[in-house]
Amino acid sequence: MTRNLSEVRFLTVAEVAEMMRVSKMTVYRLVHSGELPAIRFGRSFRVPESAVAEVIDQHVADSA
């Protein structure tokens, strides 16, 4: 499943934290544990918006 990069929306750690209603440190922990895929640009991370949706869906399904 190849996607054009122009179709992918990348979010900052702060945007992910706001979307998930958690702290930025929690997002960093998820990224470093490999639970939330991210790309490193210099000293910062960018997370594909689709990956955030998948993680949220996975956790909602686990709690149901």
Two tokens, residue 27: 């997002």
Q: Which domains are delineated in the chain?
A: 8-63 (1.10.10)
Helix (H) or strand (E) holding 57: helix 49-63
pTM: 0.81
Two tokens, residue 8: 């992918």
Q: Bigger pLDDT: 8 or 49? A: 49
β-pair partners for 2:
none
Largest alpha-carbon pair distance within the chain?
A: 38
* Tens digits of residue pLDDT in 18-64: 999 999 999 999 999 999 999 999 999 999 999 999 998 887 877 76
Q: How many CB atoms lie within 10 A of CB 5?
A: 7
**pLDDT given for residue 13 in this prediction:** 98
